[in-house]
Amino acid sequence: MTGQRIATRVAACAAVVALGVTGGTAAQADDIESLPAAQIADRSREALLDARSVHLRAQGDLGKDRAAMTVDLSLDRDGNCVGGVDLGKDEGSVEIVKRGQDVWVKPDADFWENQVPIGGQTFEEILDGRYMKGSATDSRLRPVVEACDLDTFRELVTDNTGTTGTTFTKGGVTTVDGIRTVPVTTVGHGQRITAYVDTGGEHHPVRITVRGDGADAAVDLSRFDEPVPTATPPPEQTVDVSAVLGRGPAQS
């Protein structure tokens, strides 16, 4: 299915997070506001890597030829996840639930119409408002599984950590959703990326913005280390993925 397209856009949001929190040598000073910009960025990166769970909301235009979209997910290192992806411009949205080795996906009517023009209406009729349910080992659901694992995001952060040549500037203290933050900004590839770092607690990045080169997006991060909701769709609201996409689940 076109879940790969969803995963690509989710990964793009994760890349925004990764690019926004790359720093230099770690520092342990208590007064983060007094630290150089690069050290603040590094502290926020380490805090993000240490998180056991997080709620991520990304919205906006991520660049040229990419429609504005929204990703809203709560996810943890155990691969549990709940939330959704809205592709924007009436292109469709998908609700996602993953718990252990079980995955539930519910695309809406616009998704089937726009993302699966051949056969989408048939799939929609089979589901009739219910979730597709499958195993995390089913290759057809791999894009959703990968997007729902916090370790995937942590790997992107680690892989994109700058070691040399990254310059940061520090802005004045500002408030983001009631949280006192200090912004640190880096510019590259025609884009200006700013991480708003919590001045208290573990110094998590609570908002990251990317502007320029066709992009105008924000990623909000919250609920660090809070459990992902455990509710899953009841059996009467699910259809086996093979009944929708074909018999014989593909195993990874």
Identify the pLDDT of residue 153.
Answer: 74
SS3 of residue 220 by DSSP: strand
For residue 34, how many other CB atoms are within 10 A of its CB? Answer: 11
Distance CA 24, CA 40 (A): 9
Residue 144's closest CA among 248, 5, 240?
Answer: 5
**Digitized pLDDT (tens) for each residue of the chain, 252 residues in all:** 554 455 555 555 555 555 455 545 444 546 899 999 999 988 998 998 899 999 999 888 866 666 678 889 999 999 899 999 898 888 889 999 999 999 999 999 998 888 888 878 888 888 999 999 999 899 888 877 877 878 877 776 665 555 445 788 999 999 999 999 999 998 877 888 899 999 999 999 999 998 888 888 898 999 999 999 999 999 999 999 888 877 444 444
Are the C-beta atoms of 202 and 50 separated by less than 8 Å? yes
Q: How far apart are the first and last CA of the chain?
A: 15
C-alpha dist (Å) from residue 117 to 42, 95, 101, 112? 45, 19, 30, 7
DSSP letters, 148-161, are TBHHHHHHHHHHT-
- What pLDDT score was predicted for residue 5? 53
pLDDT at 116: 82
Using only C-alpha atoms, what is the Rg of the chain? 19
- Give the pLDDT of residue 123: 85
DSSP of 106-136 = EE-HHHHHHH-TTTHHHHHHHHTTPEEEEET
The structural domains of the chain, ordered by start, are 3-245 (2.50.20.20)
Written as one letter, the residue type at 169 is: T
Which pLDDT value is given to residue 140? 82
pLDDT the model gives residue 131: 95
DSSP H or E segment with residue 4:
helix 3-20
Q: Which helix (H) or strand (E) holds 43?
A: helix 37-50
